[in-house]
């Protein structure tokens, strides 16, 4: 893995940690405000998000673009909520994070390089040991 790919790895990892942390914080906030009755759907959403993020991490192209589309759609919904309810720091921050995440995953060259590395990593055979093998001839004739 070269430096560009390592940078892409760090970018993706930071995005995923930020999104999951923020989502868990919002679930906790919602549970404190409304009680734990409605948190089951939120936990399902977290599991779905984690699954998509894992698929992106291992280099699945379909997951990358699904992630980007879902981030843009979610940002659009948050913009409508901001228009309807007025600007709220949490909504503006969440919208900004989602837009930045979608743009980085979609357009960053280092992210693309890392994901290409992840795609090809499982398709090539890399021997564990590179020690030369000794050929023994059978001279029993």
Angle separating helix axes 39-57 and 3-34, nearest 10 degrees: 180
pTM value > 0.85: no
Q: What is the distance between the alpha carbons of residues 43 and 8, in angstroms, rounded to a whole number?
A: 28
pLDDT for 128: 46
pLDDT for 101: 94
pLDDT for 122: 61
Residues of the chain where predicted confidence (pLDDT) is lower than 50: 125-131
pLDDT for 32: 83
Q: What is the distance between the alpha carbons of residues 61 and 57, in angstroms, rounded to a whole number?
A: 10
pLDDT for 40: 75
Three-state secondary structure of the chain: CCHHHHHHHHHHHHHHHHHHHHHHHHHHHHHHHHCHHHHHHHHHHHHHHHHHHHHHHCCCHHHHHHHHHHHHHHHHHHHHHHHHHCCCHHHHHHHHHHHHHHHHHHHCHHHHHHHHHHHHHCCCCCCCCCCCCCCCCCCCC
Q: Return left, alpha or beta for 87; rule: phi > 0 is left, psi -120 to 50 is alpha, else beta.
A: beta
Q: What is the distance between the alpha carbons of residues 69 and 74, in angstroms, rounded to a whole number?
A: 9
Longest dimension (CA), the chain: 92
pLDDT tens-place string over residues 33-55: 877 777 777 888 888 999 999 99
Q: What is the distance between the alpha carbons of residues 105 and 52, in angstroms, rounded to a whole number?
A: 13
């Amino acid at each position: 893995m070269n430096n560009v790919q390592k940078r892409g790895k760090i970018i993706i990892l930071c995005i995923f940690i930020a999104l999951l942390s923020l989502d868990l914080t919002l679930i906790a906030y919602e549970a404190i405000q409304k009680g734990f009755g409605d948190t089951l759907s939120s936990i399902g959403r977290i599991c779905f998000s984690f699954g998509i993020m894992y698929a992106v991490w291992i280099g699945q192209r379909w997951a990358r673009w699904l992630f980007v589309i879902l981030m843009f759609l979610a940002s659009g919904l948050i913009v409508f909520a901001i228009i309807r309810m007025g600007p709220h720091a949490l909504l503006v921050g969440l919208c900004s994070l989602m837009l930045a995440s979608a743009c980085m995953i979609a357009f960053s060259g280092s992210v693309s390089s890392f994901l290409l590395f992840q795609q090809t990593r499982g398709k090539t055979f890399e021997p564990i040991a590179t020690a030369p093998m000794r050929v023994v001839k059978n001279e029993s004739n």
